[in-house]
Amino acid sequence: MLKELIIMIFLLNIMAGGCLEDTNDKPTVEEIMYHTQDKYESIDVFKATMISTTNFQGEEVAQEMDFLFEKPNKYKCVNKVENFTTISNGEVVWMYHSDKDEVTVEDLEDSKRMPSFDYGMIFKDLTIINDMSLIGDEKLSGKSCYVIEAIPKNKTAIISQNIWIDKESWIPIRIDRDFGGYKSRVEYINISVNTDVSDNEFEFILPADAKIVKPNTSLPNQISMEEAQESANFTILKPSYSAGYQFNGATIGEYADSVSLSYAKGRSLLTIVQTRSKYPVPNAENVTIGELKGEITETFGNKMLRYNDGNIYVIIAGTVSEEELVKIAESMT
């Protein structure tokens, strides 16, 4: 016992003298996420340039936008590529397309257009729905960053993410997402926080020659259900229950062997695709639709249910709950 005590005292003295490696130099992933969330809570005004890149089947699309965001819901976003400006004063949203000289005006409550550049929306439930790990350190744009990996706990989710968090500011400056065949990257540059901002920044002055257009939730080339049925080479399944969504129109595939039914509730869309082709649903969970078997998966709160009825595959996608998706599907069988 005395020998063990002497060894313990000896080790403690070495540690106090700094002769053993300090294993606490690097924070845990929990500490990093705590500091990141704490920093976000302290920010009232966030200004930056966001560069987003998407890659799907080898085709890359890049966007660059300047944005200004004041909590809780005032924002201004200028898309430099599409010459498109979105402004909200917290009550009204203006969407101005300078090339067309057209502006769309909506109530914020009806629009549900919360700014996608608000990284707090991404981080809100990040640690709850993902297994987080610190996978390294890396310099990015001259900033020393922690690199965090987020892997979904729910096997039905198909998104993994890598996040670069600036060690000095505790602000994420890059977020990579992997959806399988679809990949995206968001980078934040020219970041400034809590600067003085005039309310005039969040008001839109209508140009003299600008045309006001009504919001349109319809997709191009949509037709009625009757016209769709005349064109399709199979019997279209129609839901008797649609969770409060109203039929908006139908789109027929090139060879009349598929149809997409669009339903809307405000600015929210529900899509029902019926096709003879089988599409894989990665990381899906099995569900039962009456006597039929189906699969369900989730991406950023958007759920997708797939099942087959005879030789027709049905895909229902939207922001509704799993229970509502199943209920809609059951009303079609």
Q: What is the pLDDT of residue 220?
A: 55
Smallest Cα–Cα separation from 216: which of 102, 303, 324? Answer: 102
Contact 262, 222 (CB under 8 A): yes
- Compare 332 and 302 and report the one with higher pLDDT: 332
Q: What mean pLDDT is predicted for residues 234-255?
A: 89
Q: What mean pLDDT is predicted for residues 67-81?
A: 91
Q: What mean pLDDT is predicted for residues 24-39?
A: 89
pLDDT at 301 over 70: no
Q: In one letter, which amino acid is 9?
A: I
List every span in the chain annotated with CATH 3.30.200.100: 225-330
Answer positive or negative: Cα dihedral of 206, 212, 213, 215: positive
Give φ, ψ of 278 to 5 degrees.
Answer: -90, 125
What is the pLDDT confidence band of residue 247, given thresholds at 50, 70 and 90? very high
Which range (62-66, 110-114, 151-155, 195-199) has the least confidence? Answer: 110-114
Q: What mean pLDDT is predicted for residues 152-158?
A: 67
List every span in the chain annotated with CATH 2.50.20.10: 29-213
Contact 44, 120 (CB under 8 A): no
Mean pLDDT in the chain? 83
**pLDDT tens for residues 54-64?**
886 677 888 89
User: Can you point out the beta strands (E) in the chain?
Assistant: 45-56, 59-70, 74-79, 84-88, 92-97, 102-107, 130-140, 143-152, 160-166, 172-178, 182-193, 211-213, 246-252, 258-265, 268-275, 285-289, 292-299, 302-309, 312-318
The superfamily (CATH) of domain 225-330 is: MucB/RseB, C-terminal domain (3.30.200.100)
What is the pLDDT confidence band of residue 181, given thresholds at 50, 70 and 90? low
Rounded to an integer, what distance in angstroms lies between the CA atom of residue 281 and that of residue 283? 7
**pLDDT tens for residues 128-145?**
888 999 999 999 999 999
Query: Tell me, which fold does domain 29-213 have in CATH?
Result: outer membrane lipoprotein receptor (LolB), chain A (2.50.20)
- Compare 13 and 250 and report the one with higher pLDDT: 250
How many percent of the chain have pLDDT more than 70? 81
Q: Is the pTM of this model over 0.85?
A: no
Helix, strand or coil, per DSSP, at residue 256: coil
Contact 209, 101 (CB under 8 A): yes
pLDDT at 8 over 50: no
Strand pairing of 102-107 and 211-213? parallel
Among all chains, which residue has been given the structure tokens 């229950």? Answer: 241
